A and B are shown apart, each in its own frame.
Chain A
Amino acid sequence: MNWTVNDLHIILVGSLCAMACALPGTFLLLRRMSMMGDAISHAVLPGLAIAFLVSGTRTSWWMFFGAAVAGILTALFTQWITRFGKVERGAAMGIVFTTLFAIGLILIKQSADHVDLDASCVLYGALEYTPLNLVTLFETETSIVQIPKAAVVIASTLLFNIIVITLFFKEFKMASFDPSLAKTQGFRPMLMHYLLMTMVAVTTVASFEAVGSIIVIAMLIVPPATAFLLTRRLSVLIATSMTVAVLSAVLGHLSSQALPYLLGLPETTSSGMMATAAGFLFLLAWLFGPEGLIKKQTGELEKPPELELED
């Protein structure tokens, strides 16, 4: 094991990304739309294809733009299908992303089969490579402080998410738990929903571009799900979910370096281990949490607390 500033940068980007995803992920969980990240990861394909057909290049900006538009459309279409097609949200997401993915495949087959145009080639970044692309924060005569460019991108996304959720906390809460009540109080739950979905789409695509897909999909789902086993108060839920996210990133990278080393195996990927660590934390919460398996076995289980609107 060879500890360098790169490890720190990977943990930094990983933690920021985990938090940026866990925040909107909490609301997705409450709306039973956790698979949105996975859906978007497939649905970006037609966006990439159309961006390529329009621009004729595979440069990052065009690909990002196409993917972001496709991501937002996925969210919008899902909502429309849920509303007008009267199917539940999971099925609506399934309809939207498979259709979009298929359209992407057809577009590529018809017009761009001669180039390599898949998301893993032109869109997804790699968490492990983020320390290679640095920006300088400030410098003195002899020293210089640099952080990965991806950290700046994702930190901005995180900041944006924090600001939006802080500003509309009451509205989001109401819209998540009781849309009809929210409506009678003039909170416009639909608008909140579209805002949330745009947030998810932008966060997801920006994170795909910066760090790749697996960690993003995992962090949208697992930390909020873990937190949900531990608490039902919304503000605590968000805080716990972000903490679990950061813990997963830190533990994940450390174990990607240390565990294989201790076992005499070759090193493994950090992003994969971060997702695995999140799963491990979920397992712990499920076993030892207030509603956990252990409590159930020993008969100590209390009645699970109801969702609380009060804070």
Chain B
Amino acid sequence: MKRLLSIIPILTLFASCTKKEDIAKTDGTIVTTIGMIADVVREIAGDKQEVINLIGEGVDPHSHQPLKSEVDRIQNAGLVLYNGLMLEGKMGSVLSSRKEKGIPVFALAEGLENVELIGDQAHPDPHLWMDASIWAKVADAIGVRLSDFDPENKEHYGSRLTEYQKSLTDLHTYALMAFGTIPPDQRVLVTAHDAFSYLGRAYGIEVRGVQGISTESEAGNKDINDLVAYLVEKKIPAIFVESSVPEKSVQAVIQGAAQEGHQVKIGGTLFSDAMGAPGTYEGTYIGMMDHNITTITNALGGGVPQAGFQGKLND
């Protein structure tokens, strides 16, 4: 037993011994945490950079299960881009510890100029991508980080960023137009958890979450009853489920409204903390937003084409 105890530390020390020059060695890949960031980086970088995203589609960033191979990837990364504002939980502090090794690590949602964050000062809501005009600023920030990381291709990134910004502007305009077609007294978005505040503020729609901002918090009875009363009073036709949150509490609201004699249907599944499957249109930032905007608008009595603003949605 004692022998076993002493062998372990000795072996470890032996094997932990590394050459100094190897410590900050990277293979130059860019590591991102969430799909929304990875997609924008890929749009701007084109084929000039390899991007590895850690949290897959359909996964709530809070309940992400880490793997050993991710650690290898983070260690080899030349540039790390994450959301911040505690979206990634403790993973954020793990990532920022790479700074000590001289690896550039940036929390994109933190320190943006001219962006008013929602929530109290010390603990703002991290779901910034729900407002395309804010995500455009994040795209600018990504452009700057890429150019600093790889100055040789600065112009390449600059021109691709300009192109991409046009699509983001189109998306923002489309969202404003789409929500404008919803009858004003039905502009209420009810979802499972509070991830849509920025969308609500940017596009003039009231947002109500069945449960709090944490995906693990639970809706109280009174919350559900208040929400049911509100839906019945305002005659809201639809509420929404999210791809990364169980729909249990949403079902409770629908049943509650049915007992009050008001039929509420599920307006569709929205992408909140995670995007659609890779390789599909919904697996891009613009596609996911287009899906959300089009789904919400049509379910709440507005009128936009089912195929979305680029005609690419296929449901």
Per the 8 Å Cβ criterion, residues 61-76 of A in contact with B are none
State the total of A-B contacts with C-beta under 8 angstroms.
142
Cα-based distance from A117 to B220 in the complex (angstroms): 17
Chain A contact residue count (CB 8 A cutoff): 56
By the criterion CB–CB under 8 Å, are A8 and B15 in contact?
A: yes
Tell which of B17, B89, B122 touches A56, judged by Cβ atoms closer than 8 Å. Answer: B122
Residue ID in chain B nearest A109 by CB atoms:
B220
Q: CA of A18 to CA of B214 in the docked complex: distance in angstroms?
A: 30
Fill in one digit per residue for B5-25: 1 if any A CB lies within 8 Å of its CB, else 0: 000100011011111100100
Q: B218 near A: Cβ within 8 Å?
A: yes
Measured between beta carbons, the chain A residues less than 8 angstroms from B94 are 126, 129, 132-133
Which residues of chain B are within 8 angstroms of A147 by Cβ–Cβ distance? 12-13, 16
A231-257: CB near B (< 8 Å → 1, else 0) gives 000000001001100100000010011
- Contact (Cβ within 8 A) B122 A57: yes
| B212 close to A114 (CB less than 8 A) | yes
Cβ of A20 to closest chain B Cβ, rounded Å: 12
- A230 within 8 Å of B (CB atoms): no
A58 contacts B123, CB within 8 Å?
A: yes
Q: Which of A102-120 contact B (CB under 8 A)?
A: 105, 108-109, 113-118, 120
- In the complex, whether B167 has a CB less than 8 A from a CB of chain A is no
Which A residues are in CB contact (< 8 Å) with B26?
none
B7 to chain A, nearest CB (A): 10
Counting contact residues on chain B (CB < 8 A from A), the size range is 35 or more
The 10 closest A-B pairs by CB, nearest first: A121-B89, A128-B66, A115-B123, A113-B212, A116-B214, A118-B216, A239-B1, A126-B66, A129-B94, A133-B97
**Chain A interface residues (CB < 8 Å from chain B):** 2, 4-10, 12, 15, 56-58, 60, 105, 108-109, 113-118, 120-129, 131-133, 137, 139, 142-147, 239, 242-243, 246, 253, 256-257, 267-270, 272
Supply 28 A–B pairs (Cβ within 8 Å), ascending by A: A5-B15, A8-B15, A9-B12, A108-B217, A109-B212, A109-B217, A115-B213, A120-B63, A120-B216, A121-B90, A126-B66, A126-B91, A128-B66, A128-B70, A129-B66, A129-B71, A129-B94, A133-B94, A137-B16, A143-B20, A144-B18, A144-B23, A242-B1, A243-B1, A246-B4, A246-B8, A267-B69, A269-B66
